[in-house]
């Protein structure tokens, strides 16, 4: 690249990233950008995201070759025409250029200006998706803008725009720098980035001023109690299983049912009056079709969800991406959390468009014919496919897991291992700040949505309301629950002479009753999933202890609670087997490097030293050496040892009611 080309690329990346990171302009990585230098145009590759695009995300193309396509005759048949045009478009890609160019590269080539920005802001589409959009465009922007009526995308749209450009230039004597497309968006072009920014600012300001004259329905921001969503909590696991079965072909496949009751859709869906939903029943633009499909599933309260879902699939030929429960909420369904959240964002965008369109004569959805075209258009199917590509399946791929005690120690390590192996993790702990820190780090490392911290709330497993909320929030975040890992626990050492009843009861409440509560509420969700997917299995796993397999001197409160945990495990396993829920315990050896043992003030090394549990021990180091010497393999247990046991228990389908030792041989079962 020449120095001029390098500067052009820096500018292109800068404004692409800036607009791509701003949700008022870009959702789902939508929109595209380009820059020209000489006869070469560099345009965003299909499926890449503006927010993070770099040099390798742009495809270099021969602008002359693209412009020559406007004078070429193509077949009249839609499929044949677009196929031939796509071949010519790909032939215009310069040798060595990575990726596939945006299908709208011909539109970018049409503008002679150096920089081109194509976006679909909800504010702009409030005008382009309105009955009075064309007249409003003329009133607000005059001859500076070209308006294009609803036109099929691809070569067809590019040719219509080229003809409109010629007419506009002959009438005004200048090349347009603004293009508004009905039910699509806006394209702005300029010689400098500063001019481009000023152009977009003007567009957003003028449309925004018009929209402000139309009052919006008030939206309440107050939090609602979980009880307000009893019906969504019942429906979500069913929807999740039904969608997973369609897209994976099996009952044990995984998917996400993301929930939303607040935000732009609220004024449309939080009423039982189905007429209020009317503006959202048909799509406004191609992006909405790509990520939300052509129509939502409307769930009638009191009717069987499975029957309604099956009827939708039978009528449309595909499973719903959006399901509305009138008066309650909207769900988005996807193979991944990112896919479901993107569908929710696009549906929220549709709600914004419907509201903004009130200022321009009312909403105007896409025609049924146009919608069918987009549904079957290879280019848009390719864009969706590359937007959500993933790697090879991992051991916990897309399983929804709750880990209690996740702020530190075994719990934190298990949460991190699950995320590493492709699972979704709800990090729960009394230490809300610690759980949030773990969740935030997992989202940063593995992608937004990988982890949740129950909205930063402190979770007390010994409190039934707290556990119910934890499980409910999990269902409303991911749509269901596959693995409950009851890891939260406390150890208070002491002999019969020193242990108080209050301390004894505290250990029992967390280690014994807490496990019961986690199992109780997890089982309820897993039963609902099993009802919708008759061969599906779920897992409840207690992180027990070697002290649950043999007594522990001067530590009877802890050992007793863990012995009781194994009794619960066996009893739960018998009760839940008919529902496909496997219940097992893992009995780790001593995590000598974890905070339970090594905390200098409250750790077990210090407690055992003070309690005189280790004969002759003078220091914490003496206590550690004593416990290491008890292990045939000569070391303490690690988090990774326990994580592997978790994966084994989840993967196997023929073990339940078991207590699996992970002790390095310190405890061996008879």
7, part of any domain: yes
Q: Clarify whether residues 267 and 321 are in a common domain.
A: yes
Whole-angstrom Cα distance, residue 68 to residue 619? 84
The enclosing domain of 159 has a CATH number of: 3.40.225.10
Q: Given this model, what pLDDT does residue 220 score?
A: 42
Confidence band (pLDDT; 50, 70, 90) for 276?
Answer: confident
Decide if 424 is inside a domain.
yes
Q: Are residues 189 and 254 in the same domain?
A: no
Instruction: Say yes or no: 450 and 575 in one domain.
Output: yes
The mean pLDDT of 421-434, rounded to a whole number, is 97
Q: What does the pLDDT average to over 590-603?
A: 85
**CATH number of the domain encompassing residue 345:** 3.40.225
37 part of a folded domain:
yes
Has residue 220 been placed in a domain? no
Neighbours of 213 (CB within 10 A): 8
CA angle 206-178-358, nearest 5°? 40
Q: Look at residues 362, 387, 412 and tell me which one is the last residue of a structural domain.
A: 387
Classify residue 163 by its DSSP letter. Answer: H
Instruction: Decide: residue 95, CB within 10 A, 0-12 exposed, 13-18 middle, 19+ buried.
Output: exposed
Q: Domain tally for the chain?
A: 4
Given 360, 387, 414, the domain boundary residue is 387
Distance from C-alpha of 227 to C-alpha of 528, rounded to nearest angstrom? 18
Instruction: Map tokens 């005008």 to a residue.
Output: 127
Q: Report yes or no on 670 lying in a domain.
A: no
**By C-alpha distance, which of 624, 659, 418 is closest to 545?**
659
Average pLDDT of the chain?
Answer: 92
**One domain for residues 580 and 597:** no
Between the CA of residue 548 and those of 233, 517, 551, 559, 634, what are the distances in Å?
35, 19, 7, 6, 21
Q: Is the pLDDT of residue 223 over 70?
A: no
pLDDT at 386: 47
Do residues 435 and 469 both lie within one domain? yes
How many C-beta atoms lie closer than 10 Å to residue 41's C-beta?
Answer: 27
Crossing angle for the helix pair 3-20 and 193-211, to the nearest 10 degrees: 20
Residue 308 lies in a domain: yes
Instruction: Give residue 82's pLDDT.
Output: 86
Mean predicted confidence (pLDDT) in 560-571:
98
Instruction: Tell whether 468 is covered by a domain.
Output: yes
- Angle subtended at Cα 487 by Cα 484 and Cα 488, rounded to the nearest 5 degrees: 120
Domain that holds residue 614: 593-630
Is residue 5 within 8 Å of 37, Cβ to Cβ?
Answer: yes
- Token pair 């009760």 in the structure block, residue: 575
Q: Which of 387, 411, 440 is the last residue in one of the domains?
A: 387
Q: Are residues 153 and 28 in the same domain?
A: yes
Give residue-wise pLDDT tens across range 42-100.
999 988 899 999 999 999 999 999 999 999 999 999 889 989 999 999 999 999 877 78
Co-location of 319 and 337 in the same domain: yes
Residues 6+ apart with CB under 8 A from 233: 226, 472, 475, 476
Q: Are strands 58-62 and 40-44 parallel, antiparallel or unpaired?
A: antiparallel
3-class DSSP state of 191 = coil
382 is catalytic: no
Find the CATH number of the domain harbouring 560: 3.40.50.720
Task: Convert the pLDDT of each residue in 120-167 to its tens digit.
Answer: 999 999 999 999 999 999 999 998 899 999 999 889 999 999 999 999
What pLDDT, on the 0 to 100 scale, is given for residue 30?
Answer: 82
User: How close are the terminal C-alpha atoms of the chain, in Å?
Assistant: 72
Of 134, 55, 125, give the one whose Cα is nearest residue 97.
55
Residues 79 and 199 in one domain: yes
Q: From the candidates 558, 627, 648, 654, which is the catalytic residue?
A: 558
Give yes or no: residues 237 and 156 share one domain: no
Q: Are residues 303 and 168 in the same domain?
A: no
Residues 363 and 404 occupy one common structural domain? no
In a domain, 200, yes or no: yes
Q: Is the pTM for the entire model greater than 0.85?
A: yes
Window from 360-364, 481-485, 601-605 with minimum mean pLDDT: 601-605
DSSP-derived secondary structure letter, 511: I
Please tell me the distance from the alpha carbon of residue 128 to that of residue 278, in angstroms, as a whole number.
19
Quick: pLDDT tens for 600-611. 888 889 988 998
Residues 513 and 554 in one domain: yes
């Amino acid at each position: 690249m020449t120095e001029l080309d390098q500067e052009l690329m820096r500018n292109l990346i800068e404004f692409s990233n800036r607009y791509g990171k701003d949700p008022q302009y870009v959702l789902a990585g939508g929109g595209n950008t380009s820059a020209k230098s000489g006869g070469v145009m560099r345009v965003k590759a299909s499926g890449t995201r503006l927010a993070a695009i770099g040099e390798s995300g742009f495809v270099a193309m021969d602008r002359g070759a693209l412009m020559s396509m406007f004078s070429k005759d193509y077949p009249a048949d839609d499929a044949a025409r677009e196929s031939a045009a796509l071949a010519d478009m790909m032939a215009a890609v310069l040798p060595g250029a990575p990726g596939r160019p945006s299908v709208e590269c011909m539109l970018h080539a049409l503008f002679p200006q150096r920089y081109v920005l194509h976006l679909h802001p909800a504010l702009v589409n409030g005008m382009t998706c309105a009955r009075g959009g064309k007249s409003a465009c003329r009133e607000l922007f005059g001859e500076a803008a070209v308006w294009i009526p609803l036109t099929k995308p691809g070569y067809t749209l590019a040719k219509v725009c080229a003809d409109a450009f010629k007419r506009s230039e002959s009438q005004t004597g200048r090349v347009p720098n603004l293009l508004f497309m009905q039910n699509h968006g806006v394209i702005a072009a300029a010689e400098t980035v500063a001019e481009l920014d000023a152009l977009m600012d003007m567009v957003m300001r003028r449309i925004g001023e018009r929209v402000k004259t139309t009052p919006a329905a008030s939206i309440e921001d107050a939090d609602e109690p979980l009880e307000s969503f009893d019906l969504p909590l019942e429906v979500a696991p069913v929807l999740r299983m039904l969608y997973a079965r369609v897209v994976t072909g099996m009952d044990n496949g995984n998917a996400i049912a993301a929930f939303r009751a607040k935000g732009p859709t609220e004024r449309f869906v939080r009423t039982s009056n189905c007429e209020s939903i009317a503006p959202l029943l048909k799509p406004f633009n191609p992006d909405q079709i790509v990520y939300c499909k052509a129509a939502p599933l409307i769930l009638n309260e009191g009717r069987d969800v499975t029957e309604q879902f099956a009827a939708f699939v039978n009528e449309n030929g595909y499973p719903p991406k959006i399901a509305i429960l009138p008066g309650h909420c909207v769900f988005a369904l996807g193979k991944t959390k990112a896919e479901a959240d993107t569908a929710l964002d696009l549906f929220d965008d549709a709600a914004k468009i419907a509201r903004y369109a009130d200022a321009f004569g009312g909403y105007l959805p896409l025609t049924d014919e146009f919608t069918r075209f987009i549904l079957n258009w290879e280019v848009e199917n390719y864009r969706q496919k590359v937007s959500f590509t993933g790697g090879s399946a991992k051991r916990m791929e897309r399983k929804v897991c709750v880990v209690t005690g996740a702020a530190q120690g075994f719990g934190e390590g298990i949460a991190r291992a699950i995320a590493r192996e492709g699972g979704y993790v709800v990090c729960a702990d009394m230490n809300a700040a610690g759980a949030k820190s773990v969740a935030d780090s997992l989202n940063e490392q593995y992608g937004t949505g990988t982890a949740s911290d129950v909205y930063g709330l402190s979770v007390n497993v010994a409190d039934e309301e707290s556990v119910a909320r934890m499980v409910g929030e999990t269902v409303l975040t991911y749509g269901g629950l596959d693995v409950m890992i009851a890891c939260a626990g406390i150890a208070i050492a002491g002999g019969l002479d020193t242990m108080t009843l209050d301390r004894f009861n505290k250990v029992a409440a967390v280690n014994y009753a807490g496990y019961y509560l986690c199992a109780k509420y997890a089982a309820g969700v897993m039963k609902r999933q099993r009802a919708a997917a008759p061969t599906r299995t779920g897992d409840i796993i207690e992180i027990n202890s070697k002290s649950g397999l043999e007594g522990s001197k001067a530590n009877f409160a802890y050992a007793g609670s863990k012995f009781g945990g194994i009794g619960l495990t066996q009893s739960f396993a018998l009760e839940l087997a008919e529902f496909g829920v496997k219940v097992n315990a893992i009995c780790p050896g001593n995590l000598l490097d974890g905070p339970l043992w090594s905390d200098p003030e409250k750790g077990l090394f210090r407690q055992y030293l003070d309690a005189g549990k280790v004969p002759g021990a003078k220091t914490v180091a003496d206590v550690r050496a004593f416990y290491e010497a008890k292990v045939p393999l000569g070391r303490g247990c690690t988090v990774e040892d326990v994580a592997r046991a978790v994966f084994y228990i989840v993967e196997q389908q023929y073990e339940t009611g078991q207590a699996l030792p992970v002790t390095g041989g310190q405890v061996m079962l008879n």
